[in-house]
């Protein structure tokens, strides 16, 4: 209860240093051929697994196909993001700066505009927010007052691949 009261007090007292609303993730338009290619690749993987004699890989590929399809249809939620002197607000979730190790900004407009944080906990580990139309230099200057910047961080291979196939 005391922790909730502290969060409510922090939320009410802290003046935002920066604040914006953005989509949870970038949603790419997918045409009919995108889905056809997905199903062809999935079918080839399943046929390969069947010939290799493995039941578990077949089930895994079917489940992966379902997850990819469902996620590709998902609409991003609107996220209200706020930087205050004590930490970050992500909708109703508060991250104290003591819970964060570092931050980095990946900025290659128009597609890649993210603000990323490494947490002290293993889960979630890395938190990523869309910058939207925010000035990355201003956001960086604000965050440098509270957290070290990890300038060596780059976009992960998985994120690059997902972006390349418009996922």
Which tens digits make up the pLDDT trace of 38-72?
Answer: 899 899 988 988 888 778 888 998 998 899 889 88
pLDDT tens column, 90-127: 888 999 999 999 999 999 888 899 999 999 887 778 98
Residue 73 pLDDT more than 90? no
pTM: 0.74
- pLDDT range class, residue 87, cuts 50, 70, 90: very high
pLDDT of residue 146: 96
2-26+76-149: what fold?
Answer: PH-domain like (2.30.29)
pLDDT of residue 84: 95
pLDDT of residue 8: 54
| Region for 57 from its dihedrals, namely left if φ exceeds 0, alpha if ψ lies in -120 to 50, beta otherwise | alpha
What share of the chain in percent tops pLDDT 70?
92
pLDDT of residue 14: 63
Strand-strand pairing, 112-119 and 87-90: unpaired
Per-residue buried b or exposed e for 109-143, using 16+ beta carbons within 10 Å of the residue's own CB: eeebbbbbbbeeeeeeeebebbbeebeeeebeeeb
Strands annotated E in 32-125 = 78-84, 87-90, 93-96, 100-108, 112-119
* Domain ranges (residues) in the chain: 2-26+76-149, 32-73
């Amino acid at each position: 209860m005391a922790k909730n009261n502290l969060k409510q007090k922090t939320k009410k007292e802290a003046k935002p240093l920066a604040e914006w609303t953005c989509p949870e993730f970038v949603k790419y338009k997918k045409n009919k051929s995108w889905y056809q290619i997905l199903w062809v690749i999935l079918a080839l993987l399943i046929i390969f697994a069947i010939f290799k004699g493995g039941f578990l890989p077949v089930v895994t590929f079917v489940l992966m196909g379902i997850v990819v399809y469902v996620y590709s249809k998902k609409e991003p939620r609107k996220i209200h993001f706020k930087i205050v002197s004590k930490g970050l607000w992500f909708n109703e979730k508060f991250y104290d700066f003591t819970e964060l190790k570092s931050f980095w900004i990946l900025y290659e407009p128009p597609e890649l505009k993210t603000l990323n944080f490494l947490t002290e906990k293993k889960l979630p580990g890395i938190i990523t927010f869309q910058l939207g139309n925010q000035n990355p230099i201003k956001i960086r200057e604000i965050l440098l007052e509270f957290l070290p910047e990890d300038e060596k961080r780059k976009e992960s291979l998985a994120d690059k691949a997902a972006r390349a196939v418009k996922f």
